[in-house]
Amino acid sequence: MNLAEQMKYADLVDIPRLQALMERFNEVVGIANAVIDVDGTVIVHAGWQRACTDFHRVNPQSCRLCVESDTSLVESMTRGSPFAVYRCHNGLVDTAARIVVAGKHVANVFTGQFLTAPPDTDFFRSQAQRFGYDEADYLGAIRQVPIVSRERVESITRLYAQLASMMADSGLDRIRQREATRALARLNATLEDTVAARTRALAQANQELSARESLLKQILDTSSVAIFVVDAQGCITQANQRMAEMFGLSLAELVGAEYVSLIHPDERNVGRDKMRALLTSEIAAVDLDRLYWRADQSEFWGHLTGRRLHHADGTMIGLVGVIADINARKLAEQKLQLAANVFSHAREGIMITAPDGCIIDVNEAFTRITGYPRDEVIGRNPSLLASERHDAAYFEAMWQALIGKGHWYGEIWNRRRNGEEYIQLQTVTAVRDPGGNIRHFVALFSDITAQKEHERRLEHIAHYDALTRLPNRVLLADRMQQAMTQAQRRSLRLAVAYLDLDGFKAVNDRHGHELGDQLLINLANSMRQILREGDTLARLGGDEFVAVLGDLSDTVAVEPMLDRLLATVAQPLNAEGCEFRLSASLGVTFYPQSEEVDADQLLRQADQAMYQAKLAGKNRYHVFDAEQDRHVRGHHESLEHIARALAEKEFVLHYQPKVNMRTGKVIGAEALIRWQHPERGLLAPAAFLPVIEDHSLAIQLGEWVIDTALKQMEQWQATGLSLPISVNIGARQLQQAHFVDRLKTLLAAHPDITPDLLELEVLETSALEDMAQASSAIAACCELGVRCALDDFGTGYSSLSYLKQLPVSQLKIDRSFVRDMLDDPDDLAILEGVLGLASAFRRQVIAEGVESLAHGQLLLQLGCELAQGYGIARPMPGNAFANWVAEWRPALTWSNTNPVSRDDQPLLHAIVEHRAFIAAVASYLAGERTQRPALDAQHCRLALWQASDASARHRSNPAFANIATLHHRLHQQAGNVLEQHAKGQVDAQEAGLSALNDLGTSLLAQLEALVHTPLR
């Protein structure tokens, strides 16, 4: 049996191609056709008429007629007829022709469903009636049937059969070839093993090739990757649908496009070079990740594999490429790389643990902070870092937060590998899977030990006295508030003791600040040791201390403590080979009181009581009378009490010296009134003068002051001391109509006192109330020989014309300007302006409020030699004044200080301005002020002075250039420190502030030296 006899027709042909052929013929000739195997299987068909499909073969009766036609034609073919024609009883004509392959009848070609003449309408109408067709629809279908001559149909049908046979012959040839190959393989089976293996490989390759052809078509249609072919010119000749989707183009747009146009513009040149190298066999293949460019100009990552593509004969077709969209993978890789970089390079320590707490991984910062290498901690529990500062409840709360909330944030003390404890700020987060189960814990932490230490130091600076290490005023207020709350809660008493050292200023002035500071340190330590553990001892400044003594059952319980404080201060102190004996005056107040009081009120009460202790002879304590003070605060004392006090001679005068600071000469004294209250002790003017300000008692008391001052001068003169005394004149007294007459009467009562020894100090505000009256009264006083001074100058609103109208001989600079001139450039400017006015109007000037050597020195440099204040002497009783005058010596610093030339006076302003600037920077860094300090290095007083002609005489001095350099560096350093503060660089800020202070010290020292450079 030959191969054709073994095979069916369907095995021999490419059925899709045959179907396509039949459909194309139907389109050309318009005649239905079908190829049917000899066993009756329909292989392909095309163009069947609607008359058959919708009518004849649908109705069972008419379908039998169609079957008869089919059967007749098949029988004709079986009998060997090459061609047969059959007119179906349904009225249409069918034909058939045999398909013969290798001499064997294997199938038939059927054509039909046509007419050889125009349709017989009556016949077909009867057909419709017979079989129940819709007549109109049926006749319409009949009219669509083609009319073809028998001869043409026969030629067409035979042509169909020949083509079908040829296709089968072609298929048979392929089959025969395959069979021949198989036969050849069987013949060569006996050859040696190598030949046999090669033969089998060849047969296998042929089989795989066939399979690949089929598989390739499926892959091209269903693959998730882009597959394409380019020719030798680099143009795309084939592409699959996935490639069109990937690039946002249609297949029509892809085919013919240059491949490199799909590559990202930044990589096109490289892509073109790669493609040329592949085409020219310089490289065998490409396998790389590449950025591609979509039609919408968006980019994506693709993985390209490409090779050369050859024909079977070895000639090159072009290149075949496969592109996989790996954009998601690349993004994931980038995220992973970013995470890895963060993990590796983060400044914070990172620790990852399993749900049971076992450490899985740590980063380099972990090792840097803890000291543990990575391999030492992997697999271990984080408890190896634990210090002993936290109990089990602390960690239990942490775990509860992690399990319940999924995170924990806080500060925790741990221990490094070397055993050192440190504090870290830590965040722990639970990482869960999609099911909500905890997979890992991630801890991020940073070492904040240095920051905490810096905060502690700043807090210490803000709350403790730098010299004695005692709490300062800020911390004292907090401690007092706590003690007051505790006293209320426990129903106990609290005592606040205000302590001021007696005679300390003289020691400080005579032996210098360094020794004075050492004495203060020693005294602070001694007093701290005698207090109980819960008590507070604070330093307010200078030689003033406050003790807060709590848990007292009654007021008597505090007395032993006060005695111990006084005894401790009275102990001899040794320093620099000398023995010093000091004493203290203590003022005490208690809490709670019948009225609600705050901490500030308690301090003021204790301060007032301390002052009473000083007046009572010092080295003692005085208890504040809260009941009496309530009356003072309510009305400062009734007029009746004041009138009775005046009648009973309870008022006294104390005298504050006025001196020439340069020469040391005592030029006079100011009489200051005090009330020697029989129950409350010595009261300051503020306690009673405001009550009588608008009452006639003010005139009576004013005249008593003048008369008493004149008597005091008589007593001094009797001892050989002749000094003028100035008294304060109130507005009501000055403006009375008979003021000058009353003054004459008082002077006449003391004929031994010449009028020029009396000086009247008129408050600037008092003079302004009635300028004409004041000017007239002052002029009249001058005619009597009594001198007049304008007191508290600068605090009122006088104009230059007023100053011109008032015939005063002296201006007194108010203490408020003098007190702050060392640190406030504005106060210094006001002070300089007052001095300038005094010089312009030829008025003598004296400064009040000189409290230190520095105040006096600066006044002398400005040309103001006359002064009074606590830095010289406190007000004292008249009987103590003569002894003070005999012992008084000016500070050597004052004696050696000369006025600064007008050209150099800007240097004084520069010193104060930069001292204030450095203090402002430190205050801003400590959080004590919110406004950022600003001082323009190009427009500050020093820079302006350096650029002016006033500095000409110093420019040859090497210090001049050095000052310019220091000045620039100081402002630059200030800017650096403020920037470090803004960035939160705590350590750098602290070091920068120290450097700024050093530069400030150097600059101020250089400026001081330049100020003292003698004129040439």
What does the buried/exposed string (b/e) look like for 97-128 if buried means 16 or more CB atoms within 10 Å of the residue's CB?
Answer: bbbbbbebebbbbbbbbbbeeebeeeebeebb
**Burial of 550: CB neighbours in 10 Å, binned 0-12, 13-18, 19+:** buried
pLDDT digits (tens, 9 = 90+) for 64-85: 888 888 788 888 888 888 888 8
Taken as a whole, the chain contains a residue count of: 1016
pLDDT value of position 405: 86
List the one residue out of 657, 645, 765, 627 whose CA is nearest residue 697: 645
Q: Reduced to 3 states, what is the DSSP secondary structure of residue 369?
A: helix
pLDDT interval class at 542 (50, 70, 90): confident
pLDDT value of position 632: 47
Residues 6+ apart with CB under 8 A from 8: 37, 39, 106
If one compares 477 and 160, the residue with the highest pLDDT of the two is 477
Hunting for tokens 């020697």 — which residue is that?
676
pLDDT of 811 higher than 70: yes
Query: What mean pLDDT is reported for the chain?
Result: 85
Averaged pLDDT, 662-687: 91
Averaged pLDDT, 472-486: 91
d(CA 701, CA 716): 22
pLDDT interval class at 3 (50, 70, 90): low
∠615-621-624 over CA atoms, to 5°?
A: 85
pLDDT value of position 44: 86
- Helix residue spans in 677-738 (DSSP H): 689-692, 697-718, 731-734
pLDDT of 1 higher than 70: no
**Cβ atoms of residues 145 and 113 within 8 Å:** yes
* Pairing relationship of beta strands 316-325 and 236-239 according to DSSP bridges: unpaired
Averaged pLDDT, 988-1006: 87
pLDDT digits (tens, 9 = 90+) for 311-356: 888 888 899 999 999 888 878 777 777 766 667 677 888 999 998 8
pLDDT interval class at 850 (50, 70, 90): very high
pLDDT value of position 796: 52
pLDDT interval class at 262 (50, 70, 90): very high
d(CA 251, CA 393): 70
pLDDT value of position 635: 47
pLDDT digits (tens, 9 = 90+) for 93-130: 888 888 888 778 888 888 877 888 898 888 889 988 98
* Pairing relationship of beta strands 666-677 and 681-683 according to DSSP bridges: antiparallel
If one compares 982 and 654, the residue with the highest pLDDT of the two is 654
pLDDT interval class at 87 (50, 70, 90): confident
pLDDT value of position 214: 67
Strand partners, 86: 94
pLDDT of 384 higher than 80: yes
pLDDT value of position 191: 62
d(CA 853, CA 29): 130
∠662-665-667 over CA atoms, to 5°?
A: 115
pLDDT of 886 higher than 60: yes
Averaged pLDDT, 818-846: 85
**Cβ atoms of residues 940 and 910 within 8 Å:** yes
pLDDT of 399 higher than 60: yes
pLDDT of 169 higher than 80: no
pLDDT interval class at 301 (50, 70, 90): very high
Share of the chain above pLDDT 90, in %: 31
> Distance between terminal CA atoms of the chain?
143
List the one residue out of 931, 702, 672 whose CA is nearest residue 815: 672
d(CA 307, CA 287): 9
**What's the DSSP call for residue 896?**
T
- Detail the DSSP E strand segments found in 850-995: 866-867, 876-877
pLDDT digits (tens, 9 = 90+) for 635-659: 444 688 888 999 999 999 999 999 9
**Cβ atoms of residues 356 and 403 within 8 Å:** no
Averaged pLDDT, 977-982: 86
pLDDT value of position 634: 47
pLDDT value of position 60: 86
**Cβ atoms of residues 146 and 118 within 8 Å:** no
Averaged pLDDT, 208-235: 79
**Cβ atoms of residues 893 and 965 within 8 Å:** no
